[in-house]
Structure 1
């Protein structure tokens, strides 16, 4: 089994492709061996629902899966995003962001959906590197806020959870990361919860979870085959899913690129 190397996500604004080709839709992949660099699109979010017991006036808030009732349409979610951020967005970014909203909407309202900090880390990693070349830092943050709120999520939670996981991962070694089941701590608890749900068949793997997990491994320098196998065993995670997810994202981008040139 070959060692997994680093994956970098390049911003749109730094594409080496001819800008003239990027007229309406844009997201140009940079291909290198072992997935060393590429750009991609997808989405993820969090959900809280309120339920009321029969013959009761009390309201219980549950952090869980998406429900099938009162689910907004894709067009409604896109409309919320565009209304929340009213300033013009350059077409090279606007087209991709709207495509992301569509994909994330479908994940957001999937029956088995549940917010996950690792998944949030994956989304934040993608968004930040996608928008790295955006002209204004202030606008970039405002767009992030509008985007997440359009999906009825809390952007602050995304940021807090992503930062928490990154700081934790940077403080780990490959071995300490793999030994998380035997340790106590907030992040360790998050990973244990994922492991438990996965072992019970109550966890929905996704592309952004794969990216978030890989980011944890990368920050911990835990990319050697033996460590990957140990971590994968601990959380019942089939590591090939990471590679397959990345391949699917890359294929999506290749298709998108060839439609705009």
Structure 2
């Protein structure tokens, strides 16, 4: 019997692939995403799918907004995926391909399509089959990252519906019923995601203002020193 990887194994693997320190402001975000991806990767009923890939990619991109140095972001994302023995390029490919595919659709059309995915507009058959398998499985494993991916997709197609709790619930009801999605948990996951995004955005504003104030202070000090030297 294969030994099940532990969180410690995944953490060690992550720092093997990404050797630079994580910016302290973002460390918790990375750690939480790492643990969540790990727990799913070792769950017997978990199977990666395009909506989950959207959730992982969008969560990472949104929560890592403003990360410095910028060039480290791709290394961190790659390390997160590789640490759970996944392919980061495949995550990005599935996410981007599916998001490109849904462009121009209405939210209602998308839900109807998800209920019975078929090859359309050259969409990769692997993506179609993966989404089809979700609707056919009795043991589908819901996750917060799937919920975020699902919300992201709806939000991109119709942000007004995504904001309206009643309309959103009505829209997703057929798909939620077919997948036996825990609707209340989905709602809580989405609410928490949006709340955390707001906190991140507020934090970035504060950081930007602090940097700007520090810059002005330094400039004023330099001007004062120059005047004193001139005198």
2:155 paired with 1:218: yes
User: Is the 2:135–2:178 contact (alpha carbons within 8 Å) kept by the matching residues of 1?
Assistant: yes
More strand by proportion, 1 or 2?
1
Q: Are positions 1:69 and 2:9 aligned together?
A: no
Which whole-Å deviations, capped at 9, do the CAs of 1:36-67 have from their partners, x for residues lacking one?
Answer: xxxxxxxxxxxxxxxxxxxxxxxxxxxxxxxx
Structure-2 residue corresponding to 1:194: 134
Report the equivalent of 1:24. none
Does the CA contact (< 8 Å) of 1:112 and 1:204 recur in 2?
Answer: yes
Q: Which runs of 5+ in 1 are unaligned?
A: 1-67, 254-261
Larger radius of gyration: 2
Which structure has the higher relative contact order (CA within 8 Å, separation 6+)?
A: 1
Structure-2 change in CA distance of 1:80 and 1:189 (3 Å): closer
Match of residue 153, structure 1, among 64, 67, 86 = 86
Whether the 8 Å CA contact 1:165–1:216 is kept in 2: the answer is: no
Q: Deviations over 1:154-192 (max 9, x none)?
A: 000100011012112222112321321456224554433
- Number of equivalenced pairs: 183
Question: TM-score, with normalisation over the residues of structure 1?
Answer: 0.61
Whichever structure has more helix as a proportion of its residues is 2
Post-superposition CA distance 1:197-232 (Å, at most 9, x none): 1xxx22111111111111121222264344333443
Q: Does 1:129 align with 2:73?
A: no
Aligned pairs (5 A) from 1:1-261: 69-180=2-113, 181=115, 184-185=118-119, 186=125, 188-197=128-137, 201-221=138-158, 223=162, 224-225=167-168, 226-233=170-177, 235-246=179-190
CA RMSD of aligned residues (A): 2.7
1:102-132 CA distance string (max 9 Å, x none): 2321221112221122111111110001111
